[in-house]
Structure 1
Amino acid sequence: MRRTLLPGAMALCLAACSGGDDQAAESYAGAAAEIAPAAPVELAMEAADTDAGDDGASQTPVQPANTIAYAYFYGLELPSDRVADVRSRHEAACVEAGPRVCQLLGSETQSFGDDRSSATLRLRATPAWLTGFRAGLEADADAAGGRIAQSRTDAEDLSRSLTDTEARLRALETLRDRLQQLLATRSGPLEQLLQTERELARVQGELDATRSALTVLRDRVSMSQLTITYQSETRFASNSVFSPVGNAFSNSLRVFMATLGGLIYLVAGLLPLLLILGPVGWLVFRWVRIRRDRRAPKAP
């Protein structure tokens, strides 16, 4: 690939160094028109490698001290009547901190009857704020009569992604600057100028997309994610000898209503059959009786 791009790079340097040689400008425009559609990304990488060779110390990327993105997961078991209250207080603490410190990503609450409820809270915040917030989760759970049932921390090293994205960004910026300089200082055939403008527009689009990707990576490093799930406590049955009797009394109404509901389903399922088969059966019975009466001998 370097052998393929070497003529283009040599023509680019010749066009940049010459002051008024139109023939060199046309030669560079022809080389750029030939190389850019075939290998735009390779040309950008070649330009970045050339600049790094000229001044390696100044082009060395400076990575931030922290390149690890953290994600925290907590599961809280609380009384069913305190699930919504605890989630609301945690959400209010994030909103009160401000969007620069804590950002709310999602909040959800579900209720299943009077004794079962669950909620989920997802947010993104700075490591300093999350350190204090995570330290207070256990106290909040204890104050609500619950506990922290589970916790997990996930870490992802983004140093390589940051380095590659920054290198690509510098290469695209170098290629964009050279294309802009070519359009501003050189003249040539209209077709070559239009092709250079199209290449410049394509490079500018890739440059904007790369900047957005780099911003997302830096945000993941500067702010960590936190996901909290709130579940109602699981109530275990008592080990007392009278517990079967108590459970039977407490569940008797539920069993009665379940049986009644099954009977209603049975009647609802058989009713259409009775409406259709009832008249048909009566007609068949009537026809059989008439036939039997006709065949029977008459009494003298």
Structure 2
Amino acid sequence: MRSVHLIPTMILCAGLTLTAGCSEAPSEQEAASVDMAAESVAVSDASRAEAGGAGEAPGMTTSAAPGVAFAYSYMFSLPGKAISDVQHRHAAACEELGAQRCQITGMDFRQETSGSISARLDFLVAPDVAHRFGKQALDAVRAADGELTNAGVTGDNVGGEIDASQVRSAGLEAELARIEKRLATAGLSAQEHSALLARADELRGNLRHEADSRTEGEKRLATTPMSFAYASKGLFASSEDPLGNAASSSLDSMEQMLAVLLTLAGLLLPWILLAGLLFLAWKGLRRSAPSAAVSDSGGPPA
């Protein structure tokens, strides 16, 4: 009859093990450290637009930070049906500036099966028109009942990098001149002559690398990358349609309620399972107790 007592005990141990496993908190990952170069300049402006669309487009002029290469990013929220039209308006505005002032480098438009729409448009814009171009883009979004939800500007001190490269090139050229003067000297051994030639070739390669680096930096200063991201507000979102706004708000509330219910289920489910296992164990113990009593009473008298 001892095997009857063993089953509830095993169930109880399994329940305690399950609870211990579920109560362990996941270890938090350490935040990755970001190394900032001494000559880099980072300018960040991440802003949330207010409900009335009060977010303003960020902008940095070349006169305010000479030698800094900026990159702009914008995130717009619009009614789904307006995204395609606004995206085409932005592309047309770039074309009006001309290929020398604005170039489209990427375009994307996606409509999910759920009905949500997302799009993207990437540009290379002349630095002196970047801020104005971004402001005009925001005006077009607001005209379509949209808003600016996030914006950022980053900058790198490319001018400082170019200056540093010129200093390095001057040092390389001076060393190369000394080597060439030494090579012109008569009476060099074959070993020294070979070593000097190898070093001269290395210096010329380094000079070409520095020149290419400066050329790339000058290109970055001559153009400003801009990225527009578009996301739909919802299937029914539109300030001109109160019923649509109400439907969109209802959908958002349902999504939030579902998220809360799933969170509660994740928190309570392990304890519910434990309670069920404990109940089964208690029920098993109650069943085994009368059986043990009957077995003891049926034995031979003392």
Distance 1:238 1:90, change over 3 A: closer
How many angstroms does 1:169 deviate by? 1.6
**Take 1:93 and 1:186, find their aligned partners in 2: how far apart are those partners?**
67
**2:127 maps to 1:109:** no
Which has a greater percent of helix? 1
Distance 1:99 1:239, change over 3 A: closer
In the alignment, is the contact (CA less than 8 A) between 1:183 and 1:193 conserved in 2? yes
**1:80-159 superposed matches below 5 A:** 80-95=80-95, 97-113=97-113, 115-159=115-159
**Take 1:100 and 1:122, find their aligned partners in 2: how far apart are those partners?**
16
Aligned Cα root-mean-square deviation (Å): 3.1
In the alignment, is the contact (CA less than 8 A) between 1:115 and 1:232 conserved in 2? no
- Aligned partner letter, 1:175: E
Partner of 1:228: 228
In the alignment, is the contact (CA less than 8 A) between 2:79 and 2:235 conserved in 1? no
**Take 1:192 and 1:100, find their aligned partners in 2: how far apart are those partners?**
52
Distance 1:193 1:118, change over 3 A: same
Partner of 2:75: 75
1:213-240 CA-to-partner distances (Å, cap 9, x unmatched) read 2222333333322111011123577659
How many angstroms does 1:162 deviate by? 3.1
**1:205-224 superposed matches below 5 A:** 205-224=205-224
Partner of 1:260: none
Q: Identify which of structures 1 and 2 has the higher relative contact order when contacts are C-alpha pairs closer than 8 Å and 6+ apart.
A: 2
1:228-274 CA-to-partner distances (Å, cap 9, x unmatched) read 1011123577659xx79xx9xxxxxxxxxxxxxxxxxxxxxxxxxxx
Partner SS state of residue 106, structure 2: strand
**Take 1:90 and 1:72, find their aligned partners in 2: how far apart are those partners?**
15
**Take 1:124 and 1:238, find their aligned partners in 2: how far apart are those partners?**
36
- Aligned partner letter, 1:136: Q
In the alignment, is the contact (CA less than 8 A) between 2:115 and 2:235 conserved in 1? no
Distance 1:191 1:71, change over 3 A: same
How many angstroms does 1:67 deviate by? 1.8
Distance 1:232 1:164, change over 3 A: same
How many angstroms does 1:117 deviate by? 1.2
**Take 2:139 and 2:169, find their aligned partners in 1: how far apart are those partners?**
46
- Aligned partner letter, 2:73: F
1:272-295 CA-to-partner distances (Å, cap 9, x unmatched) read xxxxxxxxxxxxxxxxxxxxxxxx
Distance 1:183 1:224, change over 3 A: same
**Take 1:107 and 1:172, find their aligned partners in 2: how far apart are those partners?**
43
Distance 1:183 1:89, change over 3 A: farther
1:43-69 CA-to-partner distances (Å, cap 9, x unmatched) read xxxxxxxxxxxxxxxxxxxxxx81222
In the alignment, is the contact (CA less than 8 A) between 2:68 and 2:158 conserved in 1? yes
Partner SS state of residue 209, structure 2: helix
Partner of 1:194: 194
In the alignment, is the contact (CA less than 8 A) between 2:86 and 2:144 conserved in 1? yes
Structure 2 residue ranges without an equivalent (≥5)? 1-64, 237-243, 255-302
- Aligned partner letter, 1:73: S
- Aligned partner letter, 1:205: G
**Take 1:181 and 1:93, find their aligned partners in 2: how far apart are those partners?**
58
Q: TM-score, normalised by structure 1?
A: 0.51
Q: How many matched pairs?
A: 179
Distance 1:104 1:208, change over 3 A: farther
How many angstroms does 1:129 deviate by? 2.2
**Take 2:140 and 2:87, find their aligned partners in 1: how far apart are those partners?**
10
Distance 1:186 1:118, change over 3 A: farther
**Take 2:181 and 2:99, find their aligned partners in 1: how far apart are those partners?**
41
How many angstroms does 1:166 deviate by? 1.8
In the alignment, is the contact (CA less than 8 A) between 2:119 and 2:229 conserved in 1? yes
Partner of 2:174: 174
**Take 1:186 and 1:99, find their aligned partners in 2: how far apart are those partners?**
57
In the alignment, is the contact (CA less than 8 A) between 2:122 and 2:225 conserved in 1? yes
In the alignment, is the contact (CA less than 8 A) between 2:80 and 2:235 conserved in 1? no
In the alignment, is the contact (CA less than 8 A) between 1:73 and 1:153 conserved in 2? yes
